[in-house]
Amino acid sequence: MEINHYIEAINLLKTGELEEIIVKREDFMTFREAWMQTENRVEIVGEAGLNGQIIYRFVKLTK
């Protein structure tokens, strides 16, 4: 998957239009590039799944 698709998916995740993003092991570095460009990336939390798969969800941090 291209980085632009992940940037779009991250934005949809932050707006609540997506509940989660599932990233396969082979796509992790591409996702990471998009994630690193995200302003509030600490609110995008990954959970390890099976076979190197990671499930990312948006968790709004409270101050």
pLDDT for 5-38, tens place per residue? 999 999 999 999 999 999 999 999 999 999 999 9
For position 61, what pLDDT does the model report?
Answer: 81
Question: Which runs of consecutive H residues, i.e. helices, occur in the chain?
Answer: 3-15, 28-36
pLDDT value, residue 12? 96
Predicted structure pTM score: 0.87
Does position 2 have pLDDT exceeding 90, yes or no? no
Q: How far apart are CA 6 and CA 29, in angstroms?
A: 11
Indicate whether 1 pLDDT > 70: no
